[in-house]
Structure 1
Amino acid sequence: MENCDSLKCFQLELFPRLKILRISKCSNLEFICEHEGPLEDLTSLNSLKIWECPKLVSFPKGGLPASCLTELQLFDCANLKSLPVHMDALLPSLEDLRLFLLPKLEVFPEGGLPSKLKSLYIEDCSKLIAARMQWSLQSLPSLSKFTVGVDENVESFPEEMLLPSTLASLEIWSLKTLKSLNYSGLQHLTSLEQLTITDCPNLQSMPGEDPSTLAFHFYHERPVVETECLQHLCP
């Protein structure tokens, strides 16, 4: 669904067998569902992508009961203040969560993120990044890939015990004020195989030591093939 400017509400409950839903450039979309009561389990839905919907504020009050959803992407929703509630219980199959350009999003839902989450991408979400010590990523036993990017208020990263020891890949990009990598926040990442740092012009110091198996990549600018956000939205 794209460029449906007159659409204010998408009645998700009317499509219980929907497998893939992409909503893009619906400038007046405010709600995903106006249904006040709990939704029936959307067992067929496995991919949900919402792009460039500036008036979207929130998801259904009872959350999204999509037990088979594996992929959720939210891109450029300027007024979105919260993710679906009860994600840990209602989205038990979620493996890939990508959050882009969500300036009003401050915290993850109560209860945290689903335990099967494998990949988490946070870009240009200034309030959420500022509240990173509340992420509780340590509770995610399957998280193996984490990317954080586009912020002008981070001087040191990551804080001690911010990231889980299960990470195999860590990408940091376009943290314009980043001055140092915190060794105490990296030393417990015993599964880390790849660390990529891109476009962090003020980075002055690196950790004192790195695991011998670590593949480290440093770029002054992001490679051309990765400059477009949609490259990440559609890997």
Structure 2
Amino acid sequence: MSNGLIQSSGNNQELEEIGWQYLEELLSRSFFDAVQEYYPFLIFGMHDLIHELAISVAQMESSNMKVFAQDICPMTWHISFPNPSRVPKDALCSCLGKLSRIRTVMFEEGSSREFFLEMCISRFKHLRVIDLYGSSFDILPSSIGGLNHLRFLHLSDNRNIKKLPKSVCKLRNLQCLGLGGCRGLEELPADIKNMISLRVLFITTRHIGGCENLEALFDDIQSLTSLHKLLIGGCPKLASLPQGIKNMKALEDLWISGGCRNLRLLEGESNEPRFVLRLQSFIFGGSSEIVSLAGWLEGSASTLQRIMTGDCRNLRVLPEWLQNCSSLRTLGIEDCPRLSSLPDGIRCIATLTYLQIINCEEIEEEIRC
């Protein structure tokens, strides 16, 4: 998506859906294998022969540099740099002098040397992807805000970065911002709501620790009108979701993982008729406050494909509308000892292909009977 390789077919399909169709086609032709799912992530393996073929086909466009002294084709679009931290400045400048068409920049884990990153940003004005996963940059150059074509910025597991430059919020075309594991990050820029193309946002900050001290999400979260996935985890002081979440029309995946033990699901708004969510997956766990699923989730009954819950010790009942989930494929329930039964109609959901119930003694007893 970030490099424009996925094209809309004009039938209102989301780019993610089209991309998944591409992947299914490649899977069916054995270009990929060994698929593993760690929801919401998928991991693909590639056979050695296919890998060699891919490298052969892409040799003019892609380069995985081992050392800065190696020859690079001037036609290269996608490049992976070794760690520049121990390379003389002249050698780094010489390397960049050969390149001008770059769309993707990746650094190996542990990389630093801010001036080299700034040189890349100033020279490659048409960058679509910057992948700095596991790097140790202390700051990002403010010039990053001038990369009008940037779609993907990945900074996850950078433990040194403390702040993002305000100019990051000028990246109006950015689709994915990865800040997971950035535990030194003290705050987010105030104008992050202006990033109107953002589809994926993953955050950990020092200001909220490992999210231990987070008490609320920003109220105008609905300003992120393109956000498809919202993942929340390890937030023991988070008491509720922001009211604005009900107006996030693009949201498809809401995942509330372990460590949010005090989170309520807006139960007080269960009769609110104006929720416009069209969720495809809802995953929640680790909360002692949830006794039932919030009524506003019923608005997604026709679109929900996956519902999973775990370690909700006080969950007592599943709603009757669950049997109306006409697209439901996966239902997983684990460690919910007070949940005594399933709605009768669940057995009649034609699309349900995976049902998992673990450590829910009362339900298991009911099924045996």
Name the TM-score, length of structure 2 as normaliser.
Answer: 0.48
Q: Which residue of 1 aligns with 2:141?
A: 33
Instruction: Considering Cα pairs closer than 8 Å and 6+ residues apart, tell me whether 1 or 2 has the greater RCO.
Output: 1
* Partners of 2:243 and 2:331 in 1: CA distance: 26
Q: Secondary structure at the match of 2:246?
A: helix
Would you say 1:217 and 2:326 are equivalent positions? no
* Consecutive unaligned residues in structure 1, runs of 5 or more: 224-235
Match of 2:261 among 153, 174, 189: 153
Could you give the per-residue CA deviations for residues 188-207 of structure 1, whole angstroms, max 9, x where no partner exists?
A: 44554234224325243123
Match of 2:203 among 75, 99, 108: 99
Q: Which residue of 2 aligns with 1:17?
A: 126
Q: Which residue of 2 aligns with 1:172?
A: 283
Match of 1:139 among 224, 229, 247: 247
Quick one: structure 1 residues 171 and 110, their matched pair in 2 at CA, closer, same or farther if it must change by over 3 Å?
closer
* Partners of 1:118 and 1:78 in 2: CA distance: 24
Identity of aligned residues (%): 16
* Partners of 1:16 and 1:84 in 2: CA distance: 23
1:165–1:191 contact (8 Å) kept in structure 2: no
User: How far apart are 1:100 and its partner, in Å?
Assistant: 5.7
**Residues 27-106 of structure 1: matches in 2 within 5 Å?**
27=136, 29-34=137-142, 39-40=145-146, 42-89=147-194, 91-99=195-203, 103-104=208-209, 106=214
Q: Which residue of 1 aligns with 2:108?
A: 2
Counterpart residue type for residue 200 of structure 1: D
Give the structure with the larger strand fraction.
1
User: How far apart are 1:181 and its partner, in Å?
Assistant: 2.5
Would you say 1:208 and 2:312 are equivalent positions? no
Range 168-177 or range 71-80, more displaced: 168-177
2:154–2:178 contact (8 Å) kept in structure 1: yes
Could you give the per-residue CA deviations for residues 123-149 of structure 1, whole angstroms, max 9, x where no partner exists?
A: 33456xx16443622332222221121
1:157–1:185 contact (8 Å) kept in structure 2: no
Range 118-127 or range 67-76, more displaced: 118-127
Q: Secondary structure at the match of 2:323?
A: coil
1:86–1:109 contact (8 Å) kept in structure 2: no
Q: Secondary structure at the match of 1:150?
A: coil
Give the structure with the larger helix fraction.
2
Count of matched residue positions in the alignment of Structure 1 and Structure 2: 215
* Consecutive unaligned residues in structure 2, runs of 5 or more: 1-106, 336-353, 355-369
The Cα RMSD (Å) is: 3.6
Range 155-164 or range 170-179, more displaced: 155-164
Q: Which residue of 2 aligns with 1:227?
A: none
Q: Which residue of 1 aligns with 2:18?
A: none
User: How far apart are 1:61 and its partner, in Å?
Assistant: 2.2
